[in-house]
Each structure stands twice: as structure tokens, then as C-alpha cells.
């Protein structure tokens, strides 16, 4: 299918991004996977190219590219030609926008230069051992003092947790209110801020995911992001875009799995002829190809809506749910069509299968997405 969502200037941007990911990211992928972490230099190189926070205003040194399709292009090209564990989009499009929307001018002047250059890597810390999608169960707390806050608690499964220089931490600050949260900018080197293990994962092994611990961390009031006790509402404003980012990633990965599988079944011979001539293979891939193309059209439409400021939280949940399920079916079928080879890590489909399982969990499980959708159609 020829996509019509991108103009000629965007396709030039795509060509440039593809060369960057092929030349500067992909050659290090195997080493990063073995080390369980992406080199910090990857962020510096992306910063040099202007690929971090491309939406940021020129007055701060950014490119000022507000069109969300540019971010879509970067994610797609990284999935196809870079390293899926290089979570630059979490830095650029998931965490940094909270500073844009709720940060003071002083905070922007202080943090934006390093965020743009890749010298200050970002992470967000919400999940706890006993609190995932249910933020009302959060136990990390902060208490206000004269000119600062004191933060105590722990977070887990934090992407970019080892590499991060600035972590956006959600903590309970109003004990009487289930959603009485405040957002804090916790910086590398703050006394009492410690990192735990770089967690061993099924997939996305080059992406550092860690535990974070806060022991009487003194947070200056200048590092409070947004209004105190309003953190829950601040976080909710970013969830629809986060789920659209997930949908973009999911469908790109599904397209990659389809391409890998098509190439394999054309070459693999069974009973003296290519596997691609077998009806079972043809029909399975035809059905999945249809799902992928339909999902791609819908994701492109939602990106257009987001550009117009009309992205609906329920539609974003639908997109995240559907694309993660399509992605899961595609990588699973890809392994099946590879036979025993699909179980071997020397084959790309095996690594893709490992990497993609998390996307029915990341940014809200499929079950949470179904509940959001169900509320919109049954409880109105």
C-alpha cells in the first residue's frame, strides 16, 4: 500500500532519518543488546541531528516541527533500521512535553539545552511494585518543608532508568485524596536518589530498565513540575499521545515482522518448493497483511487528528489495543512460519518476538484499554 499521509519534504526527512539509524544506531545494536543498555552517545548523535524534541521552539534551539508526522517517521525508521531498544521517543515525546506544558520558563531555560543536545536523558517514574495502571495505589510520598520537599519511596520497571539524568517522578503529596499527586524533577546526583538493578528482560534488552529508590531526597521547590497536588491531572493529559506513540510503534513492528517473514518463506523450500506457495502460508499472511494495512490507515488518521488537536483518549486506547494485538499475532505467526529457525536468536524474527510481547503491557495493558473503551460505550 502506498501511503499518502506524507508530503515530499517529509519523505526527504525520512530518507535522512533512515541513513542516520542505519549508520549510527544499527551497527551498535548487538553490542547494546548484550550490554543491556544503549550508549549515551546515541542520544548525543541524535541531538546533533536535531532528532530530539523536534517540536521544540526555535527560541530554545529546536527545529520547531510541530507536525506529529515527523515524530511518526522517526519511530518507524528506528523500528525498521535502528534499534528498538533506543527509546529516544520516550525522552522526546513522552517526558519532555510535560516540561513544555507545565514547566516554568526558568525550568525550560535550565533543562531544555541538555535535553535537546542529548546530554540530559529523560525518564518518567510512575510504576511501583504494587502500583501500575492504578495510580491511586501509589506509595511514594513527598512532604513539603519550608523551601523544599522530601521524597521517599521506590519505583520499578523504569525505562531509561540507568541512563536518565532527569527523572519525572510522581509522588503522593495529599494523603486524603486518592489522586493527590505532585510531579517532581529528580536530577542525577541528588543525595538519597539511588538506582537499583538494570533489570533482565525477555526482550528490548538494549533498553535499560531499572528500579529507582528515594531516601529522604531533598527536592527544591524549583523542581516541582506544574501545580502541587495536581500531578494526576497533568499525567492524564499525556496518556492519549503516549498510546498513539505506542500504536505507531506497534504497527511499524508488525510491518517489519511481515517483511522478514515474506522474505523467509520465499526462500525456504518445503517438499521441493518454496514455503510461499503453500496455501496455509499464503492465507495466514494474507489475513495478517489486511489487518496491518487497515491498522496503518487508522493510525495515520489518528495522527492527522492529533495534529488538529482532536485526538480522543478513547480512540487512542482503541489504537493501542488493536495495534498491539495485531503486532502480537504477526510476530507469533512469523515465528511459526520460520519453524525451528524462528526459535533461534540468530534469526531476526526471534528477537522481534521477544521485543514485541511487552507492547500488550507497556503504556497500559490490553485489559486496561478494554476497560477505558467499555466505559465510553456502556457507562455513558
239: domain CATH number?
A: 1.20.140.10
Is position 1 within any domain?
no
Is position 93 within any domain?
yes
Same structural domain for residues 325 and 216? Answer: no
137: domain CATH number?
A: 2.40.110.10
Is position 185 within any domain?
yes
Cell output for 162: 540507568
Q: Which of 200, 227, 254 is the last residue of a domain?
A: 227
Q: Kindly report whether the global pTM for this prediction surpasses the value 0.85.
A: yes
pLDDT score at 177: 76
State the Cα–Cα distance between residues 200 and 192, nearest whole angstrom. Answer: 24
Same structural domain for residues 242 and 215? Answer: no
State the Cα–Cα distance between residues 45 and 31, nearest whole angstrom. Answer: 17
Q: Which of 120, 148, 177 is the last residue of a domain?
A: 120
Same structural domain for residues 372 and 242? Answer: yes
| Per-residue tens of pLDDT for the chain, all 380 residues | 667 779 899 999 999 999 999 999 999 999 999 999 999 999 999 999 999 999 999 999 999 999 999 999 999 999 999 999 999 999 999 999 999 999 999 999 999 999 999 999 999 999 988 766 666 678 899 999 989 999 999 999 999 999 999 999 999 998 777 688 999 999 999 999 999 999 999 999 999 999 999 999 999 999 999 999 999 899 988 889 999 999 999 999 999 999 999 999 999 999 999 999 999 999 999 999 999 999 999 999 999 999 999 999 999 999 999 999 999 999 999 999 999 999 999 999 999 999 999 999 988 899 999 999 999 999 86
Same structural domain for residues 149 and 247? Answer: no
Q: How many domains does the chain have?
A: 3
Q: Which residues are catalytic?
A: 242
As to burial, measured by CB atoms within 10 angstroms (0-12 exposed, 13-18 middle, 19+ buried), residue 121 is buried
Same structural domain for residues 261 and 276? Answer: yes
Same structural domain for residues 374 and 247? Answer: yes
Same structural domain for residues 127 and 104? Answer: no
Is position 254 within any domain?
yes
Same structural domain for residues 104 and 136? Answer: no
State the Cα–Cα distance between residues 151 and 158, nearest whole angstrom. Answer: 17
Cell output for 79: 523500528
Cβ neighbours for 130, distance < 8 A, ≥ 6 positions apart: 137, 139
pLDDT score at 32: 98
Longest dimension (CA), the chain: 79
Q: Are strands 148-159 and 141-144 parallel, antiparallel or unpaired?
A: antiparallel
pLDDT score at 237: 86
CB–CB of 85/206 below 8 Å?
yes
pLDDT score at 51: 97
Q: Which of 227, 242, 260 is the last residue of a domain?
A: 227
Helix then strand then coil, in percent of the chain rounded to 5, is 55, 15, 30
Structural domain of residue 272, as residue ranges?
Answer: 233-378
State the Cα–Cα distance between residues 204 and 70, nearest whole angstrom. Answer: 24
pLDDT score at 132: 63
Same structural domain for residues 170 and 83? Answer: no
pLDDT score at 236: 87
pLDDT score at 133: 64
Is position 209 within any domain?
yes
102: domain CATH number?
A: 1.10.540.10
CB–CB of 207/38 below 8 Å?
yes
Cβ neighbours for 54, distance < 8 A, ≥ 6 positions apart: 62, 63, 65, 70, 71, 74, 92
pLDDT score at 134: 64
Is position 173 within any domain?
yes
pLDDT score at 178: 67
Is position 3 within any domain?
no
pLDDT score at 135: 66
Same structural domain for residues 166 and 261? Answer: no
Is position 288 within any domain?
yes
Same structural domain for residues 152 and 223? Answer: yes
Same structural domain for residues 282 and 302? Answer: yes
Amino acid at each position: 500500500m502506498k501511503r499518502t499521509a506524507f508530503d515530499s519534504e517529509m519523505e526527504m526527512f525520512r530518507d535522512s532519518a533512515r541513513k542516520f539509524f542505519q549508520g549510527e544506531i544499527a551497527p551498535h545494536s548487538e553490542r547494546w543488546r548484550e550490554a543491556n543498555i544503549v550508549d549515551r552517545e546515541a542520544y548525543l548523535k541524535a541531538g546533533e541531528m536535531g532528532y530530539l524534541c523536534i517540536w521544540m521552539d526555535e527560541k530554545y534551539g529546536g527545529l520547531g516541527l510541530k507536525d506529529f508526522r515527523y515524530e511518526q517517521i522517526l519511530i518507524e525508521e528506528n523500528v525498521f533500521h535502528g534499534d528498538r531498544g533506543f527509546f529516544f521517543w520516550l525522552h522526546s515525546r513522552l517526558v519532555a512535553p510535560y516540561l513544555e506544558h507545565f514547566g516554568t520558563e526558568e525550568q525550560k531555560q535550565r533543562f531544555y539545552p541538555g535535553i535537546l543536545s542529548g546530554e540530559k536523558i529523560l525518564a518518567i517514574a510512575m510504576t511501583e511494585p504494587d502500583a501500575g495502571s492504578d495510580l491511586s495505589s501509589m506509595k511514594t510520598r513527598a512532604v513539603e518543608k519550608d523551601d523544599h520537599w522530601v521524597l521517599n519511596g521506590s519505583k520499578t520497571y523504569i525505562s531509561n532508568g540507568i541512563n536518565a539524568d532527569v527523572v519525572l517522578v510522581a509522588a503522593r503529596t495529599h494523603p486524603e485524596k486518592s489522586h493527590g499527586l505532585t510531579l517532581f524533577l529528580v536530577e542525577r546526583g541528588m543525595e538519597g536518589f539511588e538506582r537499583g538493578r538494570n533489570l533482565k528482560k525477555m526482550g528490548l534488552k538494549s533498553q535499560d530498565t531499572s528500579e529507582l529508590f528515594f531516601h529522604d531526597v531533598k527536592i527544591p521547590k524549583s523542581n516541582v513540575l506544574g501545580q502541587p497536588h495536581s500531578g494526576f491531572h497533568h499525567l492524564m493529559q499525556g496518556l492519549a499521545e503516549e498510546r498513539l506513540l505506542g500504536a505507531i510503534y506497534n504497527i511499524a513492528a508488525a510491518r517489519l515482522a511481515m517483511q522478514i517473514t515474506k522474505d523467509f518463506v520465499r526462500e525456504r523450500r518445503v517438499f521441493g518448493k518454496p514455503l510461499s506457495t503453500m496455501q496455509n502460508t499464503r492465507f495466514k499472511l494474507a489475513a495478517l497483511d489486511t489487518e496491518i494495512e487497515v491498522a496503518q490507515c487508522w493510525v495515520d488518521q489518528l495522527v492527522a487528528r492529533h495534529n488538529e488537536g482532536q485526538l480522543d483518549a478513547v480512540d487512542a486506547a482503541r489504537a493501542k489495543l488493536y495495534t498491539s494485538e495485531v503486532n502480537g499475532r504477526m510476530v507469533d505467526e512469523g515465528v511459526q512460519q520460520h519453524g525451528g529457525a524462528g526459535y533461534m536468536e540468530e534469526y531476526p524474527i526471534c528477537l522481534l518476538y521477544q521485543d514485541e510481547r511487552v507492547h500488550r503491557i507497556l503504556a497500559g495493558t490490553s485489559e486496561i484499554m478494554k476497560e477505558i473503551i467499555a466505559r465510553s460505550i456502556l457507562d455513558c
